[in-house]
């Protein structure tokens, strides 16, 4: 027989191979991010810009009311703000992975990977892992920016760590939505379009920048049930920042933001993960 298949290479069983291949593809994703600073803007410049903009430009006009009716603390807004911008930035985590996947599909990289003997699922896992690591970047940068504008945490270390853990969990859930979008939409440009008309407004109709009780009618209801409000509220509660305490007439999610956001994280992961994987499989089938 003149055609010899290349010998199976030693030392890598299916399991280790999956982690190895995932890491190789994740490393590629991280290099891509490093070399496209403009694509990193949503995780670097943008959140810092929002912190400065709202702290110094709009912040003076926004007051954080106290549920007990005591007069609002004029300096509370800088602390209130951070939970909201953290939450908004975690929600934007959808787009990194969606853009990366859409461009891989568009420029043939997915085909190249598929013609290689790599472990099943490692392309998606690699993208997901790279974007989870990418998610740490804005968390660190914004924490620093927050400290500079006067944000402080007032609770125990475990509570503060829990807040950071919650952000990472939320990012994980967002990645599944990102994979779904990146598989369904044909081009990176389409992903950007969806970002602008869907996710961007959703992060504003929430308790991100203003307390929900200042919003009119329907918007108020949307904001109260918006998981981004719940994440912002959870972070405020765990950091011990103002604006966490609900009003008596607030609906259940505002009274139990941590439970509510955990439900969303679980729900998104349970619903979107299988959908995302099958959408990805379909997108590359022919």
Partner 1 sequence: MNAPSTNAIEATGLIKRFGTKTALNGVDFAVPAGTVTAVLGPNGAGKTTAVRILTTLTKPDGGRARVAGFDIATDAVKVRRSLGLAAQDATVDALLTGRENLVMIGELHHLGRKAAKKRADQLLSDFSLTDSADRLASDYSGGMRRRLDLAATLVARPPVLFLDEPTTGLDPRARNELWEVLDGLVGRGTTLMLTTQYLEEAERLADDIVVIDHGRIIAQGDSRELKRKVGGDQLQLVVRDPARLDHAVAILQRGSGSEPQVDVQARTATVPTSAGVAALAAVSVALADAGIEVDDLGMRQPTLDEVFLTLTGAPATEEPTEDTAKPLQKAAR
Residues at the site binding partner 1, with contacts judged by CB under 8 A? 1-6, 8-9, 11-12, 17, 20-21, 24-25, 27-28, 31-32, 35-36, 107-109, 111-118, 285-286
Of the two residues 11 and 217, which places its CB atom closer to partner 1 in the complex?
11
Residue closer to partner 1 by CB (options 15, 108) is 108
Residue 148: in which H helix or E strand, if any? helix 122-149
Cα separation, 34 vs 229, in Å, equals: 31
Comparison of 12 and 136: residue with beta carbon closer to partner 1: 12
Closest by CA to 233, choosing from 206, 214, 267, is 206
Least distance CB 185 / partner 1 (angstroms) = 20
Token couple for 130: 């790279």
Q: Shortest gap between Cβ of 192 and partner 1 (angstroms)?
A: 18
Query: C-alpha distances in angstroms, 53 versus 65, 73, 140?
Result: 21, 20, 19
In 3-state terms, what secondary structure has residue 73? coil
Judged by CB, which is closer to partner 1: 8, or 249?
8
Which one, 9 or 248, has the nearer CB to partner 1? 9
Query: Closest separation between CB of residue 107 and partner 1, Å?
Result: 7
Asked if 134 and 96 touch (Cβ cutoff 8 Å), the reply is yes
Query: Is the separation of the CB atoms in 263 and 114 below 8 Å?
Result: no
CB of 283 to partner 1, least distance (A): 13
Cβ distance to partner 1 smaller for residue 36 or 156: 36
Query: CA–CA separation, 99 vs 150, rounded Å?
Result: 34
Other residues' Cβ atoms within 10 Å of the Cβ of residue 84: 29
**Tokens representing residue 149 in the block:** 């504008």
**C-alpha distances in Å from residue 13, one per residue of 50, 129, 210:** 47, 21, 53
Minimum CB separation of residue 233 from partner 1 in Å reads: 39
Least distance (Å) from partner 1 to the CB of residue 122?
A: 9
């Amino acid at each position: 027989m003149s055609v010899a298949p290349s010998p199976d290479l030693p030392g890598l069983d299916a399991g280790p191979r999956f982690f190895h291949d995932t890491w190789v593809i994740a490393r590629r994703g991280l290099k891509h991010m490093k070399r496209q600073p403009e694509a990193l803007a949503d995780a670097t410049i943008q959140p810092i810009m929002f912190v400065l903009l709202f702290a110094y430009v709009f912040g003076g006009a926004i007051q954080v009311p106290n549920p007990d009716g005591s007069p609002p603390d004029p300096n509370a807004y800088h602390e209130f703000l951070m939970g909201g911008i953290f939450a908004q930035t975690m929600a934007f985590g959808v787009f990194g992975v969606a853009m990366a996947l859409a461009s891989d599909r568009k420029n043939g990289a997915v085909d190249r990977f598929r013609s290689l003997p790599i472990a099943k699922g490692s392309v998606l896992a690699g993208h997901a892992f790279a974007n989870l690591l990418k998610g740490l970047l804005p968390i660190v940068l914004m924490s620093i920016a927050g400290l500079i504008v006067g944000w402080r945490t007032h609770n125990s270390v475990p509570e503060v760590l829990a807040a950071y853990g919650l952000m990472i969990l939320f990012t994980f859930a967002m990645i599944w939505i990102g994979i779904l979008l990146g598989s369904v939409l044909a081009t990176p440009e389409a992903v950007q379009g969806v970002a602008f008309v869907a996710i961007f407004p959703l992060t504003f109709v929430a308790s991100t920048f203003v307390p929900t009780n200042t919003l009119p009618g329907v918007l108020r209801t949307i904001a109260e049930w918006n998981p981004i409000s719940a994440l912002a509220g959870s972070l405020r509660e765990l950091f011990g920042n103002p604006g966490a305490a609900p009003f008596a007439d607030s609906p259940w999610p505002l009274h139990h933001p941590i439970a509510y956001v955990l439900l969303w994280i679980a729900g998104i992961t349970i619903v979107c993960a299988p959908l995302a994987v099958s959408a990805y499989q379909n997108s590359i089938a022919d």
